[in-house]
Amino acid sequence: MSPLNTTALRSSFPALTKNPNFIFGDNAGGSQILQASVDAVTDYLINTNIQMGSDYMPASTERCMKLAQGLAVKMFNAKSADEIVFGGSSTQNVENLARGLEGSVKEGDEIIVTWEHEANCGPWKSLAARTGATIKYWEPTLLNSKNPFSYSLDPLNLIPLITSRTRLLAFTACSNILGSILPIASIVSSARTAAASAGSPLFEVCLDCVAYAPHRRIDVQAWDVDYCIMSFYKVYGPHVGAMYVRHQQLTSSVSSIVHHFLSPEDDRIGYKLQPAGPGYESVWGTTAVVPYLEGLTEEGTLEAASEAMSAHDAELAGMLLEFLTEERQWKRGVRVVGEEKAGPDRMPTVSFVVGEGEDGEKAMKSRTVVKGFDKKGKIGIRYGHFYAFTLVSAVKPDDPSDGVVRISFVHYNTKEEVQSAIDTLKEVLYAA
């Protein structure tokens, strides 16, 4: 595996070249966009800005959509373009999916969700309310009894939740707060076995890969999931979401939610979950992402890129977590939210809170920490619940809107930038 050439790849991002002294540390909220994606969006708007089905130009938009779907197939490792749906966001895509499943979810069915991002929780809660289904929560547990914020999802706690009425399991591949990657294939296999043993007549899995996709290779076939979501604007592209829907589910579980007089064509079956048209220019802009990722290493594959990003991630996460868990920071009241150690299953998305110090230092609001960074004007980070409201409400029940401080790096960030973030954090934590 060839290592990443961070200096060279940064030239692919106009924001990084135009702001060389600013550090983007909020990548889990949205990455910077590739110049090639910007060019593709511009190209579409200038040269191909017509509606689907128009006869006055030879199928230009149809061509763009098919090419974008083909590249999204590689992104998900899906079987065909039929299984790809584009939408304004992952939240919108799951909401559309939930509407499409309304006819196959019945009163008394059970849907298991986590405390994670509402994109893969909220639509299922609403579906349950509409259909009379029951929501069950796969709740996180603590990794370290000394740290009341070291939450993690334990797969062993999932299996007892599965019964003969379990209809759907919705969980995250990687938490956008905790930064930890779950053993997806193992979880899905165990859950399917448990559902079959319990006598569930229909059990499906919806996986949230929004926080996972910027760092690792998605593989819906190897994982055996039925539905999967990701957001291209967090993977170096425009603001648009993509969803994988297994062909079998499209033709059995999912009902059409488009206008009643429209009948999805065989070669566009995913259209049944795509009411109205997505932003075609944004969809065309996604076509730059897969070629960029494939070009990150000499091997020229998404698998090699994933390995290289994993190695880079481990270095960045290791630096930040090592600082945050030092004895001095512990005594100051700093607590990492989630897994406290770096490793192959730990992303460089790190959340923390600052409580009272052992020497009498006052607790710091998360917003106060971020304002300290803003005053320096050199690095952008954020605070809040980041739409994982249920999880952060457990972390800060008195003030979930203040939430956690989150610093999130990706492969175009450097070790020097992480060190700059650490130096700034020192100044904020120990200001006179």
Rounded Cα–Cα distance for residues 199 and 196 (Å): 5
Q: Is 414 left (phi over 0), alpha (psi -120 to 50) or beta?
A: beta
Flag whether pLDDT at 62 surpasses 90: no
Q: Which domains does the chain have, with CATH numbers?
A: 6-32+300-429 (3.90.1150.10), 39-293 (3.40.640.10)
Strands of 232-304, DSSP E:
241-245
What does the pLDDT read at residue 374?
Answer: 96
Predicted pLDDT at 83: 95
The span from the CA of 397 to the CA of 395, in Å, is 6
In DSSP terms, which residues pair with 243 in a beta bridge?
85, 229
Please state, as a whole number, how many other Cβ atoms lie within 10 Å of the Cβ of residue 199: 10
- pLDDT tens-digit profile of 203-225? 999 999 999 999 999 999 999 99
- Cβ-Cβ contacts under 8 Å for 285 (sequence gap 6 or more): 33, 37, 38, 40, 41, 44, 232, 237, 238, 240
Digit-coded pLDDT (tens) for 20-32: 999 999 999 999 9
pLDDT of 403: 97
Given this model, what pLDDT does residue 64 score? Answer: 86
Q: Is the pLDDT of residue 58 over 70?
A: no
- Lookup result for tokens 């994988």: 244
Task: Name the H helices within 286-414.
Answer: 289-294, 302-324, 327-332, 366-376, 389-395
Q: Judge whether 41 and 279 are in contact, CB under 8 Å.
A: no
Structure tokens at 145: 């009894």
Choose between 1 and 4: higher pLDDT.
4
Can you say whether the dihedral through the CA atoms of 295, 301, 304, 309 is positive or negative?
positive
Average pLDDT over residues 311-326: 97
On the question of pLDDT at 268 being above 70, the answer is no
Query: String of b and e for 102-116 (b: at least 16 CB within 10 Å)?
Result: eebbeeebbbbbbbb
3-state secondary structure of 206: strand
Q: State pLDDT tens for residues 321-361.
A: 999 999 999 999 999 999 999 998 999 999 999 999 999 99
Are 290 and 302 in contact, with CB atoms under 8 Å apart? yes
pLDDT of residue 301: 96
Check pLDDT > 90 for residue 101: yes
Mean pLDDT, rounded, of the chain: 94
Could you tell me the two tokens for 334? 């700093």
∠ Cα 203 208 211 (to 5°): 160
As a whole number, mean pLDDT of residues 62-71 equals 90
Determine contact, residues 422/323, Cβ cutoff 8 Å: yes
Which phi and psi (to 5°) does residue 291 adopt? -60, -35
Position 265 pLDDT exceeds 60: no
Structure tokens at 329: 């920071």
Judge contact between 317 and 324, C-beta under 8 A: no
The pLDDT assigned to 57 comes to 66
Distance (Å, whole) CA 224 – CA 190: 11
- Residue 173: name the closest of 281, 62, 302, 76 by CA: 76
φ/ψ region of 55 (left if φ > 0, alpha if ψ in -120 to 50, else beta) reads alpha
Per-residue pLDDT band at 264 (split at 50, 70, 90)? low
Tokens linked to 233 = 């604007």
The pLDDT value recorded for residue 340 is: 95
